[in-house]
Structure 1
Amino acid sequence: MEEENQENQKQVIETKKIQLENRLKSIEYVTNIRQVINLQQMSFQYNEKNDIIKNVYEGGFKLWECTLDLLQEGQNIFQDKNVIDLGCGHGLLGLYAMQEGAKQTVFADFNIEVLNMVTKKNLELNFGFEKINKKVAFLSGDWENLPEKMKQKQNDIEVDENFSKNTSYPEIFDVLLMSEVIYNQDNYQKIVNLCKNIMNPNGGICILANKLFYFGCGGSMPEFTEFLEKNYAEIFEFETLEFINNKKGNKREIFGIRRRQ
């Protein structure tokens, strides 16, 4: 019965490839999310109409628009770097970093179901586990708990015959990647705390891709920038790396945060 279920799961996997400009490699990801997660046990009731359920589900099954912006922006800074994809969802930013030669990559999402059902599958589609067992780790839960999990070398992904837990990942990262995370004003301080606690103070960077405004949610890039200027201008320097205005929808921004030297 177990083998039959596994075979049925394989049959329903549908994927799509993202071909990035000026790059030979593409990134493949699962597209039929509803069918995939219906085969698994969930700790919460997932509804495609709800992008986010506060403190329960933080949108990891959805592929967010600004993730594609950050991929196309094409940062070429990952070679031999330690990278963490925060709020990773599908994990495409972390996968891109791995393709570009990242030394170690950690995928972090609020929901362990997202990591097990989607992120892990996308990792397998693009790399195969045998090549990267010791180069990746997975962490679930609220960002406030990540530094302590890292100290304890936790790795939350389920293990199978093809994948073993990596417990030698770093606690400090050269590159922090985030997409569509400032929709919630509560995340402003959490982002700063991560930059303080896990970003390499000597040349590390946090790169965020967000819509300019999140209507109905409260967060916005102007407000987040003001929050940084008012409270942390002496600690961090920050700048717009790219501004995106296709005149078809909400303007978007790719933003960088570094420690002042």
Structure 2
Amino acid sequence: MGSTYWTEGYPPVPFDTTSVAATDMAVAEDLKVDVVSSITGDFDSNVDLKSGFRVWECSIDLARYVHEHPAPVTKVLELGCGHALPGIAALLDSPTCTAYLHDLDPSVLQLITSQNVSRLPASAAQRTRYVTGAWGEGLTRLLKGDAGLFDLILSSEGIYKQTSFEPLLAMLIDLLDPENGVALFAGKRLYFGCGGGTAPFMSFVEDHYSDTLTCRSVALFEDARNMDAISAGLPEEDTKTLPNMKHAQDRFILQCEDDVYSRQEKDAAKEELMKAIREQSQSVWYKELCEEFGWTPDQKLVAEMETKNEEELKKLELSIEGWAGSSRQIDHLIDYGWINVRYFFADAQENLGDIEQRDAILNKGEFYLRIGDREKAVEAFEEALKITVGVGARLDNILTQIRMNIFWNDIQGCKKNIDRAHSELSKGGDWERRNKLKVYDGL
């Protein structure tokens, strides 16, 4: 049975997830029909955007995205859940996950959210919690006191107005697990008349929170609504520190004479390198090491890695180039018993703005960096830099290129990029990036 939590100012309206009174179910159906039938366009000026009685379009897209990108999460929070489709998708895909479902309106939780949860297997329904209240410190304290930190935070169409950006981001910083926490938001590119949307939200994060949060577009769903999903999270060391300098250190150990590092230490270094090569399909890096140290390449391993990398690269190319220069419709079914979804992908060059296109190119660059293809990684980062406007984002790009130079012992390239970074810093830049550059200066 799910627990009910209420913030101050909201009277308790108790219910459980497995048995809702027939009268309540009838009321819920009536409300649902009345409200949904009155909302047929984008936004009706007579309808409050906070209405949780409608299945908002982006919640379906976000549910599909969560379902197709399952992650081992233990605690998920959906803000402004309404029908809670994304939260339920995460709940079903993670058998040990507890889902906290939030909505500003307690009647939505009682009459709508619980109806969908009641259709789940009992094992899933028992892992739900409910909370209501406005975004802010009070709600944050309530959630943190009961749940602690969250692996995944979800929200659909919650950024339709700019006044919601600040309280939402403050909650993310307080509630996301700093080790692996991720937030996924789905929304329209721009909500006319409201000022919000994914495009202004990402710009707001880049302008005001670039030293605290990372934010990027991860999917575009193209139809008449032009929606996309974005991912925000506390800066992850893995993405901020590519390439991994531990690999360079292990390589250095192997390069040294036996009187500097013992054979046992060298064997351990090689083992660590091979572990990373297998886990991350570092096909190009593996070939480089085999040539340098005279190892006999494992052709089966090479073939497996190259096949996997080719498939991943195709997806990355599609996200940039699109299909035949236009959008392509794909039929897709998410069947939890009540959802049938038709959705669309669109190509970045025709439908994405500079920020999204830049991120798509950076994803490709990070892919090449991960597998050890330095030349192609540099090409991608330089291509992304050409369409990058913000000083912070430009510095992140150049700082990553400095790491590449250090990793591959390119002294001249390192000096060149340090000079470029100083030039960018003269235009602005936060203390964190300044300190990083000081470290590279010292090297």
Which secondary structure state, in structure 1, belongs to the residue aligned with residue 176 of structure 2?
coil
Is 1:77 the equivalent of 2:52?
no
1:1-261 matched pairs, under 5 angstroms: 6-7=21-22, 12=26, 32-34=29-31, 50-52=46-48, 58-73=50-65, 74-101=67-94, 102-128=96-122, 131-132=123-124, 134-144=126-136, 145-153=138-146, 170-246=147-223, 249-260=224-235, 261=237
Alpha-carbon displacement from aligned partner over 1:116-172 (angstroms, at most 9, x marks no partner): 1111111011234xx34652210001021221212454xxxxxxxxxxxxxxxx221
Q: Deviations over 1:47-94 (max 9, x none)?
A: 8664326xxxx2211110011111222343343421011110011111
| Cα pair distance change 1:37/1:136, threshold 3 Å | farther
Question: What stretches of structure 1 of length at least 5 have no aligned partner?
Answer: 14-29, 39-46, 154-169
| Whole-angstrom CA distance in 2 between matches of 1:224 and 1:252 | 13
Write the letter of the residue equivalent to 2:62: L
AA in 2 matched with 1:103: C
Amino acid of the structure 1 residue aligned with 2:232? I
Higher Rg of the two aligned structures:
2
Aligned to 1:114, the other structure's residue is in SS state helix
SS in 1 for 2:119: helix
Question: 3-state SS of the aligned residue for 1:178?
Answer: strand
Residues 60, 114 of structure 1: 8 Å contact kept = yes
CA contact under 8 A between 1:37 and 1:117: conserved in structure 2? no
Name which structure has the greater RCO, CA cutoff 8 Å, separation 6+: 1
Name whichever structure is richer in helix by fraction.
Answer: 2
Letter of the aligned partner of 1:92 in structure 2? L
**Alignment-mate amino acid for residue 201 of structure 2:** F
Cα distance in 1 for residues equivalent to 2:174 and 2:184: 16
How many residues in Structure 1 have an aligned counterpart in Structure 2?
207
SS at match of 2:107: helix
Q: For the aligned residues, what is the CA RMSD?
A: 2.6
Segments of 5+ residues of structure 2 without an aligned counterpart are 1-19, 238-443
In structure 2, relative to structure 1, the CA distance for the partners of 1:190 and 1:76 (3 Å cut) is same
Q: 1:51 to 1:75 in 2, by over 3 A?
A: farther
Is the alpha carbon distance of 1:34 and 1:134 closer, same or farther for their aligned partners in structure 2, counting shifts above 3 Å?
closer
The aligned counterpart of 1:167 is: none
TM-score (ref. length: structure 2): 0.43
Distance 1:104 1:135 in 2: 5
| C-alpha distance in 1 between matches for 2:145 and 2:216 | 33
Tell me what 1:41 maps to: none
> So what's the TM-score if we normalise by structure 1?
0.71
1:71 partner amino acid = A
Q: Secondary structure at 1:105's aligned position in 2?
A: strand
Task: Please identify which structure carries the higher strand content.
Answer: 1
Q: Work out the CA distance in 1 between the residues paired with 2:22 and 2:80.
A: 30
- How far 1:8 sits from its partner (Å)? 5.1
CA change 1:229–1:124 in 2 (3 A) is same
Displacement over 6 Å in runs of 4+: 35-38
CA separation in 2, counterparts of 1:149 and 1:116? 19
